[in-house]
Every structure is written in structure tokens, then in C-alpha cells.
Amino acid sequence: MSKKPIFTGAGVAIVTPMNPDGSVNFDVYRDLIEDQIKNGTDAIIACGTTGESSTLDHEEHVEVIRVAVKQTAGRVPVIAGTGSNDTAYCIKLSKEAEALGADALLLVTPYYNKTSQRGLIAHYTAVANAVKLPIILYNVPSRTGVNILPETVIELSKVENIVALKQANSDFSATAQIAAGCDIDIYSGNDDQIVPILSLGGKGVISVLSNVIPRETHDICQKWFDGDTAGSLELQLKYLELANMLFCDVNPIPVKEAMNMLGWDCGDCRMPLYPMDDAHKAKLATTLKKYGLIK
């Protein structure tokens, strides 16, 4: 497996727009992908948490990946979220994403039933052995109840096509241990921590914020890579309030609401995710106005 990163910079964990009847709005989805690429996004992450993967049925999940691959047409990598708490299903979905032409896979840790660290090694190794695509481990214990320990990441990095980690556990000491202990690409999974991850050798971010400000999120990373670390930090801090506001409710409720406010017809999230209350909507609108994104 080549050591070239899957991508460097800001990859968007893109929302999945919904029609009023709850079906996927593929017309808007295609338009969103075009706008993201136009504004410098470095990768499209389809069917992640922000894309409501947990409430897409199998056929929808496959079709969202298919449309992303076709619309992107090789201009930037498409990373398919195919993680599951069922190893057999994870393998099935990962094989389908590979056949559809995805460039890489994003695999969240098994959730709810969870597993041990030994189980994580067995789970990820089984999936990696079933496909040829590069794999990004996704560590988000706040959602899954499972934390991938540094020694587990180091062990998994020995598997040829496990090449990256999306780190969303806010543990910089653990991230430093991983960076020191193995050659694996690290992406921030939190928009308020892009620069800290870059400072540990990270390759970028898999971003919710990029849905709203793709160019600026790209620039946080690009300035860092260009050696303008002060400029990168300045942008990180400038957009900190907006990044935090997009998590004032359960992701992706706020970001979909923000996209609707920006004029994108993204619809509501599927239940059990429920629309924000009026007070949070007003605060979100105020924040978007503060940044000049809406009038």
C-alpha cells in the first residue's frame, strides 16, 4: 500500500439532504458535491455520522456512495463510511463500496455491542483482509462507547491497508503516542482541534464545518502546510465559535439547519434526531450573521 495520504487538507463529512417525505434528495446532494469541490474541499466523505448513515437503509447507503463517486468523477477522493457493529455486514458494505469505485473506507468502531481492544484488532483486520481499499479507523468514543487505545492503533497500523486514523477523542496525549509509535496518517475528527492535530503531524480534518465554510476550512489546513502556521491558527480561532455552534445539538441537527439557512434545501434529519428548538435556531442564525454567511 502506497504511503501517499488518501488526502491532505479538509475533507467534508457531507450531509445527506432529505426531501419532505424523508427520502434522499439526490439532486441537492449532487449540487452540494459540486459546490464543495468548487470551494476547495479536498475529499468527500459519504455516509459518515454527519451523513446520517445510521438511518439510511442498505439500498440508500449504497446509492449515496454511488452518486458521490459518479458526481465527483475522480476530482477528489471519495471516502465511504461503511462501518458497522456487525463485522460481517461491515465487510459486505465495504466490498460494495469498493466495487462502486470509492477511494477509501471510513470505519467507525463497533458501537452498542462494543468489543475489547483484542476484538477491535480482529474486527478491523477481518475487514481489511476482505478489501484492497485503504482504511481510515474512526475513533469517536463519545458516540460509540469504545476508545481505540494507542497500542491498538499501533498494532493495526501493521496491517497493510489500514493507513489512517480519524481521531475524535480529544486526547492529545494519546494522539502523540500514536504519532510517535507508528507511521499512520492522522486526521482531526473535531473542527475545533484542526491545528493541534496538524501540529502533531496530522494530514488534515474530516470536517462538519466544511459543509458551511468549505474554502475557509480548507485554508486552515493549507496555510499550515504552506508554512503559515500563524495564519492557520488565526483562521482556526476565528471560526471557533461557528464550529462550536454546529455542535449545540446532536450532530448533524445543527449543520443541516445551518445549510437550510444558507439556502440549501437539505431538509430535516431523520428521526430519532429531532429539529432544534427555537432558541437554538435563533442563536445559530445570529452566529451565521456574525460571520456574514446570511443577512
Residue 3 confidence (pLDDT)? 75
- Contacts for 225 with CB less than 8 Å, ≥ 6 apart: 8, 9
* pLDDT over threshold 70, residue 2: no
Residue 241 in domain: no
* pLDDT over threshold 80, residue 222: yes
Residue 267 in domain: no
Q: CA-CA distances (angstroms) from residue 25 to 66, 67, 252?
A: 14, 11, 16
Q: CB count, 10 Å around CB of 271?
A: 8
What is the CA angle 254-49-106, rounded to 5? 145
- For residue 98, the enclosing domain spans 9-229
Task: List the one residue out of 8, 7, 86 whose CA is nearest residue 54.
Answer: 86
pLDDT digit string, tens, across residues 233-289: 999 999 999 999 999 999 999 999 999 999 999 999 999 999 999 999 999 999 999
Residue 252 in domain: no
pTM of the predicted model over 0.75: yes
Residue 244 in domain: no
Alpha-carbon span 99 to 226, nearest angstrom? 36
Task: List the one residue out of 183, 127, 173 whose CA is nearest residue 149.
Answer: 173
Q: Residue 295 gets which letter from DSSP? A: -
Residue 257 in domain: no
Q: CB count, 10 Å around CB of 57?
A: 8
Q: How many domains does the chain have?
A: 1
Residue 201 in domain: yes
Alpha-carbon span 5 to 15, nearest angstrom? 24
Residue 268 in domain: no
pLDDT digit string, tens, across residues 99-118: 999 999 999 999 999 999 99
Task: List the one residue out of 149, 157, 152 whose CA is nearest residue 183.
Answer: 157
- Strand 162-167 and strand 78-81: pairing? unpaired
pLDDT digit string, tens, across residues 185-201: 999 999 999 999 999 99
Q: CB count, 10 Å around CB of 80?
A: 33
Residue 155 confidence (pLDDT)? 98
Q: Residue 129 sits in a domain of what CATH number?
A: 3.20.20.70
Residue 236 in domain: no
**Which residues form the catalytic set?**
138, 166
